[in-house]
């Protein structure tokens, strides 16, 4: 176990995802369907290349679950990208990180898993953060909030589906299904809504898949290098990186209530990861 290397990998991953988030914000004049299309198509070059190079079967075994995971994930990504057009990127990313709460609820209903009382307390802390954002921060756009919460709910369902798939599928096979479905979804929806990108927008659209793939690869390496309970909390640094880039590039303003709400959301999630890791050790 190489903790220092794992931390470096995760920080690099969060920076790549943060760059992808602000790129989506920059492309505010480009249709969201096109953003999904280009982000997914860009990653397909890497996933297909990896599978072919390593002679890994592209089709997989649990096809129904793979397709269901891909459709759910693609819809979640579409809704999240839509929300970024209404919310500051840091706020949107922090709200998306509510997904583990919904994953826990789905796991209780669908997988009959049990959630410890203390975990529910941490979830309540995070939900209180949402209430602070919506109730006390006048900058929060209702449409953006609804979109990102729907994206989080679907992301939670994705976690459960991946849990059902288990280790029977190679991780890149799962990601490849996701990218194929998302490319088709974004492409089909773009047909009647196409907005021709201008100038540097082509470059930024092309970079989405690269940032997404780099983030995914280094996140995987991080989890392979150290235990989940040590590395998972660092994933939330993505919110800090994204918010800082939002301030620097778009002059976004974060009020006291905005920062408090984000802190409660992320704090509750980090406490949950820490508690789960401690219980696993015991």
Does 130 have pLDDT greater than 90? no
Report d(CA 207, CA 213) in Å as an integer: 10
Percentage of residues in the chain with pLDDT exceeding 90? 40
Q: For the segment 28-68, what is each residue's pLDDT rounded down to a tens digit?
A: 889 999 999 999 998 898 899 999 999 999 988 888 999 99
Q: How many CB atoms lie within 10 A of CB 115?
A: 15
Report d(CA 269, CA 123) in Å as an integer: 7
Report the predicted TM-score, pTM, of the whole model to 2 decimal places: 0.87
Q: With contact defined as beta carbons under 8 Å apart, do 265 and 98 qualify?
A: yes
Q: CA–CA distance from 237 to each of 11, 213, 266, 267, 274 (Å)?
A: 7, 18, 9, 12, 15
Does 140 have pLDDT greater than 80? no
Does 188 have pLDDT greater than 90? yes
Q: For the segment 63-115, what is each residue's pLDDT rounded down to a tens digit?
A: 899 999 999 999 999 999 999 989 888 889 999 988 888 888 888 888 777 88
Q: For the segment 143-180, what is each residue's pLDDT rounded down to a tens digit?
A: 999 999 999 999 889 888 888 887 788 888 888 999 99
């Amino acid at each position: 176990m190489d903790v220092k290397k794992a931390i470096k990998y995760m920080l690099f991953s969060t920076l790549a995802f943060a760059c992808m988030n602000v790129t989506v914000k920059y492309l505010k004049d480009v249709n969201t369907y096109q953003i999904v299309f280009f982000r997914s198509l860009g990653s397909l070059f890497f996933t297909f290349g990896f599978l072919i190079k390593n002679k890994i079967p592209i089709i997989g075994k649990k096809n129904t679950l793979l397709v269901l995971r891909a459709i759910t994930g693609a819809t979640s990504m579409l809704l999240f990208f839509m929300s970024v057009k209404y919310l500051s990127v840091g706020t949107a990313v922090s709200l998306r990180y509510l997904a583990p709460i919904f994953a826990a609820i789905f796991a209780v209903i669908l997988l009959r898993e049990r959630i410890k009382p203390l975990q529910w307390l941490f979830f309540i802390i995070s939900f209180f953060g949402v209430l602070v954002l919506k109730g006390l921060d006048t900058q929060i756009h209702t449409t953006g909030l609804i979109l990102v919460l729907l994206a989080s709910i679907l992301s939670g369902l994705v976690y459960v589906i991946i849990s059902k798939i288990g280790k029977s599928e190679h991780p890149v096979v799962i990601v490849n299904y996701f990218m194929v479905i998302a490319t088709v979804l974004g492409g089909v929806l773009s047909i009647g809504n196409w907005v021709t990108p201008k100038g540097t927008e082509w470059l930024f659209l092309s970079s989405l898949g690269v940032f997404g793939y780099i983030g995914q690869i280094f996140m995987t390496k991080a989890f392979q290098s150290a235990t989940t309970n040590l590395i998972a909390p660092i994933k939330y640094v993505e919110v800090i990186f994204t918010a800082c880039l939002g301030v620097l590039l778009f002059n976004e303003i974060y009020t006291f209530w905005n920062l408090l709400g984000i802190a409660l959301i992320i704090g509750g999630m980090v406490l949950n990861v820490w508690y789960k890791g401690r219980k696993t050790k015991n």
